[in-house]
């Protein structure tokens, strides 16, 4: 959509280099002259925050790996060593641990944004599916990272999650033994989790590059959900417009991040993880990190082992099929009065599942979790396909510029001209 | 409509298929070590058995020992507990098994202390044994009876009975 780059470097050295490796032109086309729809709102700033968080996690993680020991006898102590002895170690660890939470806050906002504005619809199916893969890799990375401090929650979280694979008929036991490298979660498990926890973020970088590439091929969706028709009228250059907006949003995001690191660094963690792992005693109440709670609630809502595991993985896999499950011709929920209601109920249901995932699996909590799980799947598998056929959408603006005009009620100036 | 024409396979086609097949076998042979290295190593497999002195376990007591990194419960059952386990109608069980099939001596129940749902260690202290006097798993609410059989909750099967032998009346070898 950006078209052929017409970028010519200003300096002679720049021109010499560009004719041999056109990387400056690629950067210019991707992050400076790249046209962004002029009606983007602040929900479109989470992509920048996610990029920032990925880099921040990699940097703090590399530092932590310099001081951490991946062995069952030393891992717990080495984390305390980082906290007490290593210069600025407490800062690195709190930034990394809370960074994971900030990463998930941003990714959930990013995903709900896509869900509300129909960002998964043609021609953005591949872009969306790459996003689902990124989400899965993030979850795997976060899970393995949480095991490394080798506290009670680390150990038992690892035990419960790896045991999910034992639900697979016939080969389940063999797969879990293979994952563990033994007959339970033990030193070989910790070692390989450390290795993979270091590897996966770089795979994430690779998929993120594909995600951004796919984004730049089809162009950004926008609150009106209509495609760019006239680059002059409908778009603004990425720099300075999107760059400045993303930077401002990032500052606000960093204030929240800093508040967590410096004021409530353990608020999102569990006290049990400050007890060293003990394979003979399970904590009375095992809870995953907050960002896994809705999926954990779905797992526990199904009264069968295999069924629970299938439902949990299915709740993520279903996202990949959204482009074909949603039959509506209109992208943005702004013009879909009925979908909008179902969407906000879905948001509440997701939060509700998160709450139930933290509660004990008994009595009324289980019944509530079953009802919310039914809505979760119903939203994707019934409401989305049917609503597209029965809902009467509101009039959609013909172009992005028209959408802006309708809102402002006056003539749009085009600063690009 | 496309016209189908039959082309006689050539010597060249045969060479392509043979080369491709050879490359596939070669790739598989190289991938296997990378998969297999993740399975339990020789030192882990070597820790396969452990011996336990059970003389000191009082009636009604449970000793927890570590075997292959997992807890094993050795329970000295009371008369009442044995009675409960034996008289339970088999048809009412999610994973039907008689008590006799799960013990070598009625007084002693030996089971792997790992919930068959998702691997937590069930609680067996008096007062937290669940609704069937056996064990209760706090993670997802599975209740086991005095024979270690699943009675209620998400666990699909009974607690596993490991391989074990009575070396003497008071000495047990697990594994």
| B45-174 carries CATH number 3.90.1170.30 | no
Q: Which domains does chain A have, with CATH numbers?
A: 42-235+244-288 (1.20.810.10)
Strand A35-37 to strand A235-237: parallel, antiparallel, or no bridges (unpaired)?
Answer: antiparallel
Which site among A165, A280, A369 would you substitute to test the B interface, given the most B Cβ atoms closer than 10 Å to its Cβ?
Answer: A280
Phi, psi torsion values for B65, nearest 5 degrees:
-120, 160
pTM score, whole prediction: 0.89
Which of A119, A103, A95, A99 minimizes the C-alpha distance to A44?
Answer: A119
pLDDT 10s per residue in chain A (417 long)?
Answer: 444 457 899 999 999 999 999 999 999 999 999 999 999 999 999 999 999 999 999 999 999 999 999 999 999 999 999 999 999 999 999 999 999 999 999 999 999 999 999 999 999 999 999 999 999 999 999 999 999 999 999 999 999 899 889 889 999 999 999 999 999 999 999 999 999 999 999 999 999 999 999 999 999 999 999 999 999 999 999 999 999 999 999 999 999 999 999 999 999 999 999 999 999 888 878 889 999 999 999 998 988 889 999 999 999 999 999 999 999 999 999 999 999 999 999 999 999 999 999 998 778 999 999 999 999 999 999 999 999 999 999 999 999 999 888 776 655 455 444
- The question of ipTM being above 0.85 is answered as no
Q: In angstroms, rounded to a whole number, what is the distance separating the alpha carbons of residues A180 and A169?
A: 18
Residue B125 confidence (pLDDT): 86
* H helix intervals, A219-279: 231-234, 243-263
**Nearest residue on chain B to A303, alpha-carbon basis:** B154
Is residue B63 less than 8 Å (CB to CB) from chain A? no
**By three-state DSSP, how is residue B19 classified?**
helix
- CB spacing of B154 vs A188 below 8 angstroms: no
Give me the DSSP letters along A59-128.
Answer: HHHHHHHTT---STTTHHHHHHHHHHTSTTHHHHHHHHHHHHHHHHHHHHHHHHHHHHHTTTSTT-HHHH
Check residue B169 and give its pLDDT: 87
Find out whether A159 and A182 touch, Cβ atoms under 8 Å: no
> Residue A411 has what pLDDT?
53
Contacts of A156 in chain B (CB under 8 A): 120, 139
Contacts of A402 (CB under 8 A, 6+ apart): none
Which chain A residues are closer than 8 Å to B151 by Cβ? Answer: none
For residues B36 and A161, what is the distance between their CA atoms, to the nearest angstrom?
22
Closest CA of chain B from A371, distance in Å = 18
Q: Can you give the residue ranges of every domain in chain B?
A: 45-174
Sheet containing strand B150-152, strands side by side: B133-137, B142-145, B150-152
Per-residue pLDDT of chain B (175 residues; tens, 9 = 90+): 556 677 888 999 999 999 999 999 999 999 999 999 999 998 888 877 888 999 889 988 999 998 888 899 999 999 999 998 988 888 889 999 999 899 999 899 999 999 998 888 999 888 888 889 999 988 888 899 999 999 988 888 999 999 999 999 889 999 8
């Amino acid at each position: 959509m950006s078209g052929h780059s017409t970028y010519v470097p200003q300096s002679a050295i720049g021109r010499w280099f560009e004719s041999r490796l056109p990387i400056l032109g690629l950067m210019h086309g991707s992050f400076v002259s790249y046209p962004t729809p002029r009606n983007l709102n602040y929900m479109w700033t989470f992509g920048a925050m996610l990029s920032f968080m990925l880099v921040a996690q990699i940097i703090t993680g590399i530092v932590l790996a310099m001081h951490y020991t991946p062995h069952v006898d030393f891992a717990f102590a080495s984390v305390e060593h980082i906290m007490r002895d290593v210069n600025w170690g407490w800062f690195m660890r709190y930034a990394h641990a809370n960074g994971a939470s900030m990463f998930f806050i941003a990714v959930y906002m990013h995903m709900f944004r896509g869900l509300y504005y129909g960002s998964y619809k043609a021609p953005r199916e591949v872009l969306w599916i790459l996003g689902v893969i990124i989400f899965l890799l993030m979850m795997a990375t976060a899970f393995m990272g949480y095991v490394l401090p080798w506290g009670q929650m680390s150990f038992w979280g690892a035990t419960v999650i790896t045991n999910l694979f034992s639900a697979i008929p016939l080969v389940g036991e063999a797969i879990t033994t293979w994952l563990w490298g033994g007959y339970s979660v033990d030193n070989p498990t910790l070692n390989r989790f450390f290795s993979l926890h270091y590897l996966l973020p770089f795979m994430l970088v690779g998929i993120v590059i594909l995600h951004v590439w796919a984004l730049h091929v089809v162009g950004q969706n926008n609150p009106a959900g209509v495609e760019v028709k006239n680059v002059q009228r409908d778009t603004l250059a990425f720099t300075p417009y999107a760059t400045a907006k993303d930077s401002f949003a990032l500052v606000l995001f960093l204030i929240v991040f800093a508040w967590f690191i410096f004021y409530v660094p353990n608020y999102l963690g569990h006290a049990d993880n400050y007890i060293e792992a003990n394979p003979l005693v399970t904590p009375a109440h095992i809870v995953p990190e907050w960002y896994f709670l809705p999926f954990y609630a779905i797992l526990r809502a199904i009264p069968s082992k295999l069924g629970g595991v299938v439902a949990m993985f299915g709740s993520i896999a279903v996202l990949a099929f959204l482009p074909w499950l949603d039959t509506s011709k209109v992208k943005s929920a702004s013009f879909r009065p009925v979908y909008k209601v179902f969407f906000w109920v879905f948001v509440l249901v997701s939060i509700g599942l998160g709450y139930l995932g933290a509660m004990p699996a008994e009595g009324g909590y289980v019944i509530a979790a079953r009802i919310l799980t039914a809505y979760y799947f119903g939203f994707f598998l019934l409401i989305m396909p049917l609503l597209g056929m029965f809902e009467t959408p509101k009039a959609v603006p013909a172009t992005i510029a028209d959408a802006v005009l309708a809102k402002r009620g006056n003539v749009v100036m085009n600063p690009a001209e | 409509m496309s016209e189908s024409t039959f082309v006689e396979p050539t010597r060249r086609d045969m060479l392509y298929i043979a080369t491709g097949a050879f490359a596939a076998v070669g790739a598989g042979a190289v991938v296997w070590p990378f998969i297999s290295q993740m399975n339990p190593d020789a030192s882990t497999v070597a820790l396969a058995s452990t011996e336990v002195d059970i003389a000191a376990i009082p009636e009604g007591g449970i000793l927890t020992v570590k075997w292959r990194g997992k807890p094993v419960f050795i329970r000295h059952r009371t008369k009442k507990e044995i009675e409960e386990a034996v008289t339970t109608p088999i048809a009412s069980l999610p994973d039907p098994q008689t008590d006799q099939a799960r013990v070598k001596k009625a007084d002693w129940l030996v089971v792997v202390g790992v919930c068959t749902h998702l691997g937590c260690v069930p609680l067996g202290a008096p007062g937290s044994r669940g609704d069937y006097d056996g064990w209760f798993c706090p993670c997802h609410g599975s209740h086991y009876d005095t024979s270690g059989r699943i009675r209620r909750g998400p666990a699909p099967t009974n607690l596993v009975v490991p391989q074990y032998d009575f070396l003497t009346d008071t000495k047990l070898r697990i594994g």
